[in-house]
Amino acid sequence: MNDFFASVVDKFTRCFIAKSYWKMILQGFRDSLIITFFSIILGLLIGVILATIRTSYDKNEESLKIKGGIGYWSLKILNSLCKAYIAVIRGVPVVVQLLIWYFIILATQKNSIIVAVAAFGVNSGAYVAEIFRGGIMSVDVGQFEAGRSLGFNYVQTMIHIIIPQAFKTVLPTLLNEFIAVLKETSIAGYVGITDLTRAGAIIRAQTFEAFMPLIAVAIIYLVTVIVLTALFTRIERRLRNSER
């Protein structure tokens, strides 16, 4: 028993304490969080705008057709572009997207973190767009008409009335997407970033010790997801309470 305990301590020391490997884990975790955070922000931004374009086309197609003109055609083209974007993102594996960003689109960008944020953010944007589109469609059309009847323009109605309500209904689905982004960032090692996963892999390669670093990395992801979930549950409850 003592032997076992001693060997665990020894392994732990070799994997984390000696050569200050724990710092690498910590820095990797920090970079994973940074990439995740900014990717989520970028994804939300892209997603909300895309969802707004898509739904505004679906909702106003008929009336815009009657009016005709540039408004109708520009919205029609924008809508097609959004659809194409979503189709491309859905159809190409994230790793491949990441490599395309790194070696082609942002080949001159030295900061790999920025490349990763672009890749994961643009990828997430497509999924957030579809999530939000569902949320917007689920808001009663009467809410929209009431907004317009008071003189709000389309964008104001969306910002003040529709999107806040859509946001609340999609919150649980959105959390899933955020968790997916966090876990997706574990492929950032492909473009030379020492993220959490990569840090674990490096320690494993250098110490020939698989269990300690990989389980440590797994636990850190797990705890992060648990904390994120708890945070969202609280926000959800707060939002729901505000209506009762």
Partner 1 sequence: MNGDVLIKVIDLKKHYLGGKVKALDGINVEIQTGEVVVIIGPSGSVKSTLLRSLNLLEIPTGGSIIFEGVDICDPKQNINLHRQKMGMVFQHFNLFANMNIIDNMTIAPRKRLKKSKDEATEKAMELLKRVGLADRANDYPSQLSGGQKQRIAIVRALCMEPDVMLFDEPTSALDPEMVGEVLDVMKSLAKSGTTMIVVTHEMGFAKEVGNRVIFMDGGKIIEEGTPQEIFENPQSDRLKSFLAKVL
Residues in touch with partner 1 (CB under 8 A)? 62-63, 66-67, 69, 140, 142-143, 145-153, 156, 160-161, 164-165, 168, 242-244
Q: How far is the CB of 142 from partner 1 (least distance, A)?
A: 4
- Shortest Cβ distance from residue 68 to partner 1 (Å)? 8
Q: Do 97 and 89 touch, CB atoms closer than 8 A? A: yes
C-beta of 242: minimal distance to partner 1 in Å?
7
Residue 118 is encoded by which pair of tokens?
Answer: 């672009």
Task: Return d(Cα 14, Cα 10) in angstroms, integer.
Answer: 6
Between 165 and 173, name the residue whose CB sits nearer to partner 1: 165
To the nearest whole angstrom, how small is the minimum distance from the Cβ of residue 241 to partner 1? 10
Only one residue has tokens 């994804």, namely 43
Give 87 or 141: the residue with its C-beta nearer to partner 1. 141
Closer residue to partner 1 (CB): 111 or 156: 156
Residue-wise DSSP of 86-132: HHHHHHS-HHHHHHHIIIIITTT---HHHHHHHHHHHHHHHHHHHHH
Q: How far is the CB of 239 from partner 1 (least distance, A)?
A: 9
Closest to partner 1 by CB, 74 vs 156, is: 156
The residues, any chain, with a CB within 8 Å of residue 114's CB and separated by 6 or more, are 106
The residue (of 27 and 165) whose beta carbon lies closer to partner 1 is: 165
3-state secondary structure of 22: helix
Nearer CB in complex with partner 1: 88/146: 146
Q: How far is the CB of 163 from partner 1 (least distance, A)?
A: 9
Q: How far apart are CA 111 and CA 121, in angstroms?
A: 16
Q: Would residue 109 be called left, alpha or beta, if left means φ above 0 and alpha means ψ between -120 and 50 degrees?
A: beta
